[in-house]
Structure 1
Amino acid sequence: MRNRAVIAMAASALVVSGLAACSGGDAGGPVTITLLEYQQARADAVQELIPEFEAAMAAKGEDVEVELVTDVLTDSQFQTKITQQLHSGTAPDVIDMGGSHVTGLAGAGYLLALDDHLADWPGWAEYYPQVKAQAQQTDGHTYSLPHEAGVQSIFYRKDVLEGLGVDTSQPRTWDDLIGRLKAITAKTGQPSMLLPAGTAWGGGTWSEGFLPIVAGTGSTFYDPNTGTWTLSSEGLSATFDLYHELTQAGLLPVQDLLNPNPWEPTKYVKFPEGSLPVVAQGTWGWRYDWGPEGAAPIEDVQNKVATWDYPALVPGTEPYSVSGGGFAYGVNAETEHADAAVELAQWLSSGSALARQLVAIGAAAPRSGISDLEPYKDEPTLLDAEEKLKTSVDAPEGDGADQVSQAAQNATEQILIGKADGAGAASSFASDAADLLGPGLVAK
């Protein structure tokens, strides 16, 4: 079958006639569905798979063509543009997006509920419970099909630590890890760990720094049953105390965190060169940051870099990794070809097609049955991440997360600049978050 691709860069307007959800051939002709990718690496991976999907459908006697729409955008640009397209009725049939985008679009009624389709699909039974739980929205329905999983943990330069004579076994507690970090800093005279903090990092302070720490403390933070946030707890206090201890001990690269684009000197320079050997990071780092085609390649990265689970912060807890979600396929609620659109999403989320995408993106499989397939089976770092996923902790997210994120950024900034200790930051956070959320989203 013929694969037609519509390429539309961020600065250009999409061709409305090629994007309308009601796209299709003449009466009795082929069904045409459109698929949107807004990251180039994902588009490149899917581009190679579409002819295989079309051939698989033809073998079933179904004439389906897929138009791949590649519109390279930032996350915020994507959110604005796809919302406008869905509102105007010009959005594609299938939309590949980060899980954080799904909640708002589903809540606005723009995405098709997939419950019945997934119930009839054997592949859904192979998804890990954590992935299914994250995909389910607060109304109890599932509006997207995840095709990857991110796992957040602590990455470290094994070669550097071994060269310094520092223990590389799994630290059981933060006290254990801090002791090692102090030993590194004493020998190098430089900060030894990156934990995103402050306002310059923006949402990354929340999603890559603060939230993964809170998630493992055992304290309720967001309650999906009530849709409210608990803004004071043992876990939150311990998290702010941790930031303060790391800052006071000179273990965090404070000046880098206060400057614009703090990820550039830290993740893209100092970690690759080995001078900042421990960083909080997600699975995507293997490809996008330090892989051969990443922003800052590390030669022989799989032998030089390894991961730890997050150590226990609160007594009674154990080391853990965090399931950070990943991209998922959503289906336009107004599509006239729902069955074909869902079948495309399911096919791309299965077998060899999924294995190839996971390697191209650098993500863990969200389901079983992929670990023995090439080329995924030859990626030990991704296989290890998949194993961690099975026992990982879910990061709490819900309505109001952007406001809570802003409060966390501001509170950790106060620690970095020396205006608050842990207790002061916790108090400031609780007050700011309550004001930003409003009473309806704060636990009584």
Structure 2
Amino acid sequence: MKTVKLILALLLVVIPLTVPVLAQDAATLTVSFPGDPRSETVNALIEGFIAMKADQGQPVNIVINEPTEGYGDQLLLDFGAGVGPDVFSISAETIPEYVASDLIMPLDDLVAAWDEWDNFPQGMKDMPSMNGSVYAIMYNTDTRVLFYRSDVLEAAGITLPFAPTSWEEIFAAAEQIKANVPDVIPMEVESGTIWGEGTTMDGFFMLFRGANGNFLDPEDGKWIVESPALLDAFSFYERMFGEGYSAAEPFMEPEPWVFWLQEGLANGDVGMAVVVNVVWGLYAPEGPWAIENRDEVLSWTPMPAREPGAGINGLDYVSMGGGWGWAISNATENAELAWEFVQYMTSADAITTYTAGVGGIPSRLDAAVDDPHVAAIVEQVMPYQSFRPLSADYTRVSEQIQIATEKIMLGEATAQEAMEQFAAAVEGIVGADNVKRLPLD
């Protein structure tokens, strides 16, 4: 009898140790991003996150939504129907709409405790921030520089490499091209309404920031509709077209980028162009806008401020960037896992993988870059990166910028008149109480 009791006692001790542990239920996370050529790389990274969590004994089920068309519209429809994702990819300029609708989670407390946040340059921290809060972690960006045809500038008698430190030096080069290579249009800065946001982002802001221009007063949030910087930017357009350094007619074509970039800069019919850096890849010998000897005839340099120290925040050079980041829904029921996902997708390794697979500029300073062009951009241009103001009214204000540049381009308004008309239009959009005018002297 004692033997039986002893066996039973031993069984009571042993059995709990030999019963298999039930597998932990998989947590579910819904993720949305555009279903375009980027999605192959994004899906591979997501598989890496799933594998990492499995290795940690924390299985994860990722439900992916990647619409191939109308991503932004579909995302808002999903949120409106109450089926929005936990985590979503967002283009930085659309953040105000999500903030206004209370759809996006502020990440301030999370980034404050994140020891990798300092690996993002200030521009990448500021771009997804609004009203003092961070709403996304950027994973990719682009930038703008001054491209130039080395062969054209050399023929014009300009010393190479061309490295202007002021607008005056750019105009001096344009004058030499005009005088010595008359078959070439000296320069292009995107202008007019047909180029749309390209005019604002790639053209106007590269000048406006170069004159220390800021649209939203950081103290009161009002739109600054008249300022010395705004007048300087519009005056650049007035001089460029007025002195024959550029041409208005091609900007009125249905696809002006074909004339100026796909053909003009590619064929050496345009001397200089302020444009997004990704055209470098388009001009590759195997690219869609191929220049067979690209590396011999095409070069670039950072865009200078109006003069040294005159740029935004006292900088000598300027650039503008857009980009995409990962954001978390305000309605998520799994915020901790969502933040883990965002951290993984914006890690140095993930951003290195994304940049290698998709292109663009990495948002982190510690991401590895194999492409010499991208590496040079990161080193020479990213420190000067600026971005569009985050405001629900931005799109309509941007349209007024495009109209103003077109009026100057067509000789329908001087720089001063264009600024006054712009000021009146923006006041009509946002209200008289939400604008201010700075002294011009």
Q: Same fold (TM over 0.5)?
A: yes
Q: Which residue of 1 aligns with 2:16?
A: none
CA distance in 1, matches of 2:334, 2:296: 47
Q: CA deviation at 1:158?
A: 3.0
Q: Which residue of 1 aligns with 2:82?
A: 89
1:104-123 matched pairs, under 5 angstroms = 104-123=97-116
Q: Which residue of 2 aligns with 1:191?
A: 185
CA distance in 2, matches of 1:60, 1:81: 34
- Unpaired runs of 5+ residues, structure 1, are 1-26
Q: Which residue of 2 aligns with 1:344?
A: 341
For 1:63, the aligned partner's letter is P
Q: Which residue of 1 aligns with 2:3?
A: none
Q: Which residue of 2 aligns with 1:414?
A: 407
> Given the alignment of the two structures, is residue 146 of structure 1 paired with residue 138 of structure 2, yes or no?
yes
Q: Would the aligned equivalents of 1:283 and 1:364 in 2 still touch at CA under 8 Å? A: no
CA distance in 1, matches of 2:88, 2:295: 32
Moved more, 116-125 or 129-138: 116-125
Larger Rg: 2
**CA, structure 1 residues 241+315, in 2 after alignment: closer, same or farther (shift >3 Å)?**
farther
Matched pairs, number: 408
- Unpaired runs of 5+ residues, structure 2, are 1-22
- Find 2:170's aligned residue among 167, 173, 177: 177
- Find 1:259's aligned residue among 253, 261, 267: 253
Q: Which residue of 2 aligns with 1:157?
A: 149
Q: Which residue of 2 aligns with 1:103?
A: 96
Q: Secondary structure at the match of 1:148?
A: strand
Q: CA RMSD in A?
A: 2.4
Q: What TM-score, normalized to structure 2?
A: 0.85
Q: CA deviation at 1:171?
A: 0.9
**CA, structure 1 residues 158+71, in 2 after alignment: closer, same or farther (shift >3 Å)?**
farther
Q: CA deviation at 1:251?
A: 2.1
- Find 1:246's aligned residue among 240, 245, 269: 240
Q: CA deviation at 1:283?
A: 3.0
- Find 1:225's aligned residue among 214, 219, 241: 219
> Given the alignment of the two structures, is residue 366 of structure 1 paired with residue 363 of structure 2, yes or no?
yes
Q: Which residue of 2 aligns with 1:49?
A: 45
String of CA shifts for 1:132-190, please: whole Å, max 9, x gaps. 1222211x221111112322221223344335543332112212111212222331423
For 1:65, the aligned partner's letter is N
Q: Secondary structure at the match of 1:327?
A: strand
CA distance in 1, matches of 2:63, 2:263: 39
Q: CA deviation at 1:242?
A: 0.8
4+ residue runs over 6 A deviation: none
Q: Would the aligned equivalents of 2:26 and 2:59 in 1 still touch at CA under 8 Å? A: yes
Q: CA deviation at 1:416?
A: 1.7
CA distance in 1, matches of 2:360, 2:294: 16
Q: Would the aligned equivalents of 1:286 and 1:362 in 2 still touch at CA under 8 Å? A: no
Q: What TM-score, normalized to structure 1?
A: 0.84
Q: Would the aligned equivalents of 1:240 and 1:426 in 2 still touch at CA under 8 Å? A: yes
Q: Would the aligned equivalents of 2:31 and 2:85 in 1 still touch at CA under 8 Å? A: yes
> Given the alignment of the two structures, is residue 272 of structure 1 paired with residue 266 of structure 2, yes or no?
yes
Q: Would the aligned equivalents of 2:123 and 2:387 in 1 still touch at CA under 8 Å? A: no
**CA, structure 1 residues 220+314, in 2 after alignment: closer, same or farther (shift >3 Å)?**
farther
CA distance in 2, matches of 1:441, 1:282: 32
CA distance in 1, matches of 2:338, 2:294: 38
String of CA shifts for 1:365-384, please: whole Å, max 9, x gaps. 222221xx3xx2x2122112
Q: Which residue of 2 aligns with 1:305?
A: 298
Moved more, 60-69 or 293-302: 293-302
For 1:313, the aligned partner's letter is R
CA distance in 2, matches of 1:419, 1:206: 19
Q: Would the aligned equivalents of 1:196 and 1:209 in 2 still touch at CA under 8 Å? A: yes
Q: Would the aligned equivalents of 1:366 and 1:386 in 2 still touch at CA under 8 Å? A: no
Percent of residue pairs identical: 25
**CA, structure 1 residues 345+277, in 2 after alignment: closer, same or farther (shift >3 Å)?**
farther
For 2:116, the aligned partner's letter is G
Q: Secondary structure at the match of 2:106?
A: coil
Q: Secondary structure at the match of 1:231?
A: strand
Q: CA deviation at 1:247?
A: 0.7
**CA, structure 1 residues 244+83, in 2 after alignment: closer, same or farther (shift >3 Å)?**
same
Q: Secondary structure at the match of 1:280?
A: strand
